[in-house]
Amino acid sequence: MDWSWTVDKAIPRPLRVIFRGVGQVFFCGNAVTGLIFLAALYVGGITAGLAATVGVVSSTVAAYLLGFPDDEIDAGLYGFNGTLVGPCLFLFLEHSPQLWLYVVFASILSTIVLAALMRILQPYNIPASTSPFVLTCWMFMAAVFAFDSFSRGPILPAASIPTEVAYISMIPVEMWHVAVSKGVSEVMFADSVIVGVMFLVGIAITSFRGAVMALSGAIVGVITPVLLGADKSLIEMGLYAFNPVLTMMAIGWVFLKPSKKSAVLAFLAGMLTVVCQAGLANFLTPIGLPTLTFPFVLVMWMFLFAASKSKYWGNS
């Protein structure tokens, strides 16, 4: 909405860049949206909010110090991976004072990895998206496991394949809105209905179509695993939904010319993301790593690369 951009531009530059960085987690380079996201993170938990703050500041400052392009920094592009690195490490690793140091170091690294991937993908005009966050966190988790086999924190159920699917039944009607909202909130590792709703409001301020796609993605991320017979508790926590949320926003709103065709493609991509997550978890679980948002990244890359060959989207 227009007013949000007016406010965005009125915020002092350093703060604006940081808020935009948070907003970019959902593809929204708008400081108002980012501020709402950050507030939602603190609502979800003080530690998660602080970790995200440390992450976004570290990764953005690193981009300045390393001399990366100013326009990209201004758009918040060097902030969203750090935003995700913080809460992620606090969720998966044991809490300790030096964990804050790890968050700073990992966020700086995510900025370097982002610049590298942007350079690699530049000839194809394809975004790196959250892949630097995923790669950096995987490397840190694997390294921590290697150096100290006792420092693992609570592992999210997302990290485990449902080896025994106890009871496959439809999710009760009253649980649906919970599963869908949590699906949106889990994008930033929050397991909370109110955080999910705040995220949706923040997105809607930047783009109504974006919010519709996010909501659709969460619904697809609940229906598809139900149909495929996945573990009910994972579905109810929204752990199959946060990837399709991002996929549908990327395909149906951000990166392809918006149209009915794009919306159909986004649905297809959303469903596929669920299948891809199940397949990827099969590989990663034995080595103790969660899929994070890599299913979204893989499916988005495939669809965007493919779309560039199509007469419908190739020139968009």
Q: Which positions lie near a copy of itself, rule CB under 8 A? A: 66-69, 109, 112-120, 123-124, 138-143, 145-149, 161-163, 165, 228-230, 272, 275-276, 278-283, 286-287, 301-306, 308-314
Q: Quick one: which of 121, 110, 138 has its CA closest to 294?
A: 138
- Judged by beta carbon, residue 10 or residue 168, the one nearer a copy of itself is 168
Between CA 300 and CA 253 the distance in angstroms is 12
Find the shortest distance in angstroms from Cβ 31 to a copy of itself.
24
Question: Token digits for 196?
Answer: 């999910």
Question: Token digits for 214?
Answer: 């996010």
225: Cβ–Cβ under 8 A, 6 or more apart, which residues? Answer: 234, 235, 240, 274, 278
**What are the two backbone dihedrals, phi and then psi, of residue 152, each rounded to the nearest 5 degrees?**
-70, 135
Structure-token match 């020139």, residue found: 315
Between CA 64 and CA 73 the distance in angstroms is 8
**What are the two backbone dihedrals, phi and then psi, of residue 93, each rounded to the nearest 5 degrees?**
-115, 155
Question: Token digits for 79?
Answer: 């902030």
Find the shortest distance in angstroms from Cβ 301 to a copy of itself.
7
Q: Quick one: which of 52, 51, 47, 60 has its CA closest to 16?
A: 60
Find the shortest distance in angstroms from Cβ 34 to a copy of itself.
23
Find the shortest distance in angstroms from Cβ 306 to a copy of itself.
4
CB count within 10 Å of CB 228 equals 13
Find the shortest distance in angstroms from Cβ 179 to a copy of itself.
18
Find the shortest distance in angstroms from Cβ 140 to a copy of itself.
7
- Judged by beta carbon, residue 14 or residue 69, the one nearer a copy of itself is 69
Q: What is the DSSP-derived secondary structure letter of residue 154?
A: P
- Judged by beta carbon, residue 12 or residue 163, the one nearer a copy of itself is 163
- Judged by beta carbon, residue 112 or residue 197, the one nearer a copy of itself is 112
Find the shortest distance in angstroms from Cβ 314 to a copy of itself.
8
Could you tell me if 214 and 203 are in contact, meaning their C-beta atoms sit under 8 angstroms apart? yes
- Judged by beta carbon, residue 145 or residue 176, the one nearer a copy of itself is 145
- Judged by beta carbon, residue 208 or residue 283, the one nearer a copy of itself is 283
Sign of the C-alpha dihedral computed for residues 121, 123, 124 and 125 taken in this order: positive
- Judged by beta carbon, residue 93 or residue 198, the one nearer a copy of itself is 93
